[in-house]
Structure 1
Amino acid sequence: MRFDVTILGSSSATPIYNRNPTAQALNINERLYLIDCGEGTQQQMLRFDIKASRIDYIFISHLHGDHYLGLLGLLSSLHLNGRKKPISLFGPPQLIEIIEMQLKYSQTTLHFELIFKPTNTEASEVILDNQDITVETIILDHRIPCTGFLFRQKRRLRKIIKERAEELNVPMLYYPALKRGADFFALDGTTHPNSELTTNSEEPKTYAYCSDTLYNQSYFDQINGVDLLYHEATFAHDMLDRANETHHTTAFQAGEAARINNVKKLIIGHFSARYKTLTELYDEASSVFPNTELAIEGRTFVI
């Protein structure tokens, strides 16, 4: 089952040094989930061959412009390109007011249904549950209400050992029951335990997206042990006072969050425009948590 994330934007506040505001495309079983939608996201999707028509779900973490100002343009392009399939949009309650105002004054009626589901910015909730995943909000500590998102893959059915099933003449009609864990009862009265005919599916994977936040332990329980953690790292640690003032995290603190919570891999992003190169931020985070990567635009991380 495919489960990977492509970085579309990694800058904070403004586009600079060929870095764009925040956006990511999560591919789960060939279904696309867009996480934040900063200015320029459409261009980045074209650049990295991410097809907007395949997006079914959009998640907006908060209402600072570098996380959502590309959204209206994306919705408008989908409208102009004839989209009919609904899109589910998750974000702060005020987001729908912003969208409806712009649609009203441009006299635009979308050709597709926009299903808006406001996020609760004060308590974590499961906001999506489909055949592949659940998505849960992570309450973060920023200057305005902000949520991260925890994507949990659902366990797949068991895998049939085809050679053994054929050897025992298991009818194919019985295969679905085997995948769900049933034993096989042969015509001669012999019982063959499920473990003899199937193997476990892969362990479900998890991806935690921590957008803008002051570093604290309030969200640590939810990110503990995840396979991949994206965590903002706007400043180097010598800018800690500035990070605290703006409710952001340093690269050192992002590494600490990954280390303390035993995550498998860390991606840092949301880089301040003050950093023309990212070596300082990478070195700082990886000194604490070696399995760290930079959110380089166009790079795809397999979870």
Structure 2
Amino acid sequence: MFAVTILGNNSAIPTLDRHPTAQVVTCNEQLLLVDCGEGTQIQIAKYRIRRSKLRYIFISHLHGDHYFGLIGLLNTLSLMGRTDPISVYAPPELEQIIQLQLDCSATVLKFELSFIPLQPGFSGVILEDKELTVRCFPTQHRISCFGFSFEMQKRKRKLIPEQARAYEIPAAYFSKLQDGADYQRKDGTLVKNDWVTLPPPPGKRYVYCADTLYDVTLLPHLRDADLVYHETTYLHNLQDRAAERFHSTSVQAASLAAAAAAKKLLIGHFSSKYTDLQPFLDESRPVFRDTEIAEEGVTYII
């Protein structure tokens, strides 16, 4: 399973029914938290997210609505007896902030907490395992800020059964062919793997664009993504205010998704000045039809 669950879709000021930014990416049995605004641990409990499966946390930048919930979540995990390690990918200053909070409260976590610093302007792979590759890229905000790309790997090659049978390869060996192995027949003939298989299909990809100006230089990171999340703090009539505050509008997010040939767009990070979110869809969908509001508690399959 590859999916994203929205825990918070609001910007800096929480409202009674919308929470600051937080999302959980599910990749089969592992969970990855993307940003951790105030109250994230409450949302995790509310939507029954399996805390024990959480292994990695990605913090896009150090504006409070993206990380104020982190110390509370870490403390709760420790109080609940967690011993499995957690890795946090974030701007380097966050390690100092969290350590100060722990020191001031004389708190010692029961699990190993590792910080992997994201240096300003860095772009590239930050995590890779057998199932998932995570890349980060800089976005244009008032302080150093990052987006994240999550690609679920499909490493098994596609078997061509009739070709394999033509080379007299036994069915019991087919799984090894899908893993990339060649086959040696009893007569000594070596059957090359690419004679009987095709390359694996491209993996599914989810791209998270954190706070940012409208920026066409982001297009290479969004290109052909299966799902893109892009902030839409304001409706388009406030595009000047959005630019002043290094944010984007509904139309701008939709324009990027269209230009990138993305398959689906989620919009979020709404200003608390809006109580009705329907106008965001009304503005976005004429530009990019497959746009959805990132609704809290909803899981979107990638």
> TM-score, normalization: structure 1?
0.92
Rounded Cα–Cα distance in structure 2 between residues aligned with 1:200 and 1:124 = 27
Rounded Cα–Cα distance in structure 1 between residues aligned with 2:132 and 2:53 = 17
Question: Is this contact kept in 1: 2:55–2:86, CA < 8 A?
Answer: yes
> Residue 170 of structure 2 aligns to which amino acid in structure 1?
V
Q: CA deviation at 1:47?
A: 1.4
The aligned runs of 1:55-134 (5 Å cut-off) are: 55-134=54-133
Q: CA deviation at 1:226?
A: 1.0
Q: 1:54 — aligned with what?
A: 53
> Which blocks of at least 5 consecutive residues in structure 2 are unaligned?
none
Rounded Cα–Cα distance in structure 2 between residues aligned with 1:214 and 1:162 = 50
> Residue 58 of structure 1 aligns to which amino acid in structure 2?
I
Q: What CA deviation, in whole Å up to 9, does each residue of 1:168-200 have, x standing for no partner?
A: 57274x445312334544436777675786566
Q: 1:221 — aligned with what?
A: 220
Single out whichever of 175-184 and 110-119 deviates more from structure 2: 175-184
Q: Are residue 264 (structure 1) and residue 278 (structure 2) matched?
A: no
Question: Is this contact kept in 1: 2:231–2:253, CA < 8 A?
Answer: yes
Q: CA deviation at 1:42?
A: 0.9
Rounded Cα–Cα distance in structure 2 between residues aligned with 1:81 and 1:73 = 12
Rounded Cα–Cα distance in structure 1 between residues aligned with 2:160 and 2:296 = 41
Query: Alpha carbons of 1:131 and 1:181: their partners in 2 closer, same or farther (altered >3 Å)?
Result: closer
Q: What CA deviation, in whole Å up to 9, does each residue of 1:208-266 have, x standing for no partner?
A: 10010011122221111111100000000001111011100000000001011111110
Single out whichever of 188-197 and 44-53 deviates more from structure 2: 188-197
> Residue 130 of structure 1 aligns to which amino acid in structure 2?
D
Rounded Cα–Cα distance in structure 2 between residues aligned with 1:205 and 1:171 = 29
Match of 1:62, SS state, is: coil
> Residue 86 of structure 2 aligns to which amino acid in structure 1?
I
Q: 2:205 — aligned with what?
A: 206
Question: Is this contact kept in 2: 1:138–1:210, CA < 8 A?
Answer: no
Rounded Cα–Cα distance in structure 2 between residues aligned with 1:200 and 1:7 = 33
> Residue 42 of structure 1 aligns to which amino acid in structure 2?
Q
> Residue 273 of structure 1 aligns to which amino acid in structure 2?
S
Q: Are residue 280 (structure 1) and residue 241 (structure 2) matched?
A: no
> Residue 118 of structure 1 aligns to which amino acid in structure 2?
P
Q: CA deviation at 1:155?
A: 2.6
Single out whichever of 12-21 and 232-241 deviates more from structure 2: 12-21
Match of 2:137, SS state, is: strand
Q: What CA deviation, in whole Å up to 9, does each residue of 1:110-167 have, x standing for no partner?
A: 1111010010221212111111121111100111111011112223212557899799
